[in-house]
Structure 1
Amino acid sequence: MKIIDFALNHSRTFIAVLFFLIIAGTSTYLTIPKEAAPDVNIPFIYISLSDRGIAPEDSERLLVKPVEDEVKTVEGLKEMRSTSYSGGGNVLLEFDAGFNADKAMDDIREKVDRAKGNLPDNADDPTINEVNVSAFPILLISLSGDVQERSLQRFAEILQDEIEGIPSVLEAKIGGKRKEQVDVIIDVRSLEGYNLRLEELINIVNQNNQMISAGEQDTGDGSFSISVPGLYENLEDVLETPIKSQGDSVIRFKDVAKVKKTFEDRSNYARVGGKPAITIEVSKRVGENLIDTVNAVKE
């Protein structure tokens, strides 16, 4: 009752304190960082194993089993699960809550290094990754429209650079993008008419499309590497490449072949409303405010 009596006897002071607490609480609520999926230390570590062409049964025996035998003694390990498939396998390690991720990663790297000696000679180096929720994309941007694929990709690259310039953004990864390449269409009759072989043509292109080192230049204040640029910059450079001299004339690439810009075959697809699209997956840095980062990207 003393508290109630005090409040009644000092009502103005009590109301002022209560009002201050309400204002402070509201201000804190509005300014405190908020996330739908806050940074969480997930107790999982993933080991990926690869050996192109290996059968699932052999993958289990030759890839997965040697790694399992080594990592099963890691301190704090709660459960170990593995999968074998054609071309490789993986091992998923689950640890007790509150585990020391850095120490666990060091121990696993050491034990996987030991297991490497028992893996097939043509197997790729195992990769070890910690499952990190913070690395998951926080925003997916889709770009599509009635424009050429090359223009859409160029716009996506410009947007990617701008987004990655935001301090709180870790990465903006483009999906559905294809690398440009140059297709060469050989005129077989012209090649035979000039007494040339396809292998000669390939060798000439390779020799004329490389960066050549010219050593170093010492200026007294320091040394600088010198390179002679020899890479093709455009289609005209390819077409004007000399192949063979015949009397007073020079046979050039354009005399026996045609070239055109195109794209490599797709390895992944992105679609919006059934139409081809390009996507940008945005990931934030650990500890950064999710809402502020999303708003900065949208701006």
Structure 2
Amino acid sequence: MSLYSFSVKKPITLLMIVCVVIIIGIVSLTKIPLDLLPKIEVPVAVVSTSYKGVGPEEIEKLITEPIEGAVATVGSMKNIQSISYDGNSLIIVEFNSGTDMDFASLEMREKIDLVKGFLPDEVESPMVIKVDPNAMPIIQLSFYSEEDLGKLQSILMGIVKPRIERIEGVANVSLSGGKEKEVNISLEEGELEK
């Protein structure tokens, strides 16, 4: 029996099948979760170490090389890069896809703890940071003023920022730019010698 003859001979049955398909479609549509920003996990971690007042060559020799050597033994590592510049060392570690980043960062911390004793005393404790695109800002706003930039900055700090922070689901609000107050002190050498 063809579909056409079945439809003509049994219209009620066909109507019931169509109604069931429509009901299943409506129920499925309301139950499917909608995620505009899916959770993404990037298998990258960064080790950041600060040693103020020291040049890049010393940073490379005293900090980057020992930490890089320790971190290179972490399992499922794919690639490692290091950047040494004035007062800071960055080591970027890329892992194989599917690596559990919580476990990998814990293993990195353990390896770094083994070489901490060989670092200079003035070095700040190395920080292991997982790269998390989900922590990136969802919205960025830009403001400008044709009049007084200081007044705009005080309005943003005192009124706009606190109101945005109170909105449910907002984790953090940060401001950048604007004017910062600073004090310039000019000294005359002759007066200081007196």
Range into which the TM-score falls when normalised by the shorter chain: 0.7 to 0.9
Partner of residue 235, structure 1:
none
TM-score (norm 2): 0.80
Partner of residue 51, structure 2:
51
Change (3 A) 1:165 1:91: same
Structure 1 distance, partners of 2:177, 2:95, is 36
Partner of residue 169, structure 2:
168
Amino acid at match of 1:33: D
Specify the SS of the correspondent of 1:175. Answer: coil
Structure 1 distance, partners of 2:67, 2:120, is 12
* 2:149–2:179 Cα contact (<8 Å) kept: no
Change (3 A) 1:33 1:67: same
Task: Report deviation, 1:34.
Answer: 1.7
Partner of residue 133, structure 1:
133
Structure 2 distance, partners of 1:151, 1:28, is 49
Unaligned runs of 5+ in 1: 189-196, 199-299
Change (3 A) 1:184 1:47: closer
Partner of residue 94, structure 1:
94
The partner residue of 1:16 within 11, 15, 19 is 19
Partner of residue 106, structure 2:
106
Amino acid at match of 1:166: I
Structure 1 distance, partners of 2:96, 2:73, is 14
Amino acid at match of 2:26: I
Task: Report deviation, 1:175.
Answer: 0.7
Structure 1 distance, partners of 2:179, 2:76, is 43
Change (3 A) 1:183 1:81: closer
Amino acid at match of 1:24: V
Specify which structure has the higher proportion of helix: 2
Unaligned runs of 5+ in 2: none
Task: Report deviation, 1:96.
Answer: 1.9
Task: Report deviation, 1:24.
Answer: 3.5
Amino acid at match of 1:135: A
Change (3 A) 1:83 1:155: same
Specify the SS of the correspondent of 2:145. Answer: coil
Task: For 1:58-77, list aligned pairs within 5 A.
Answer: 58-77=58-77
Task: Report deviation, 1:131.
Answer: 0.1
Percent sequence identity over aligned pairs: 28
Structure 2 distance, partners of 1:56, 1:145, is 40
Amino acid at match of 2:176: G
Which stretch of structure 1 is more off in the superposition, 133-142 or 19-28? 19-28
Amino acid at match of 1:142: S
Specify the SS of the correspondent of 2:125. Answer: coil
TM-score (norm 1): 0.54
Specify the SS of the correspondent of 2:140. Answer: strand
Deviations 1:105-135 (A, max 9, x none): 2221122122221222332221211000011
Specify the SS of the correspondent of 2:82. Answer: strand
Equivalences, count: 184
Specify the SS of the correspondent of 2:16. Answer: helix
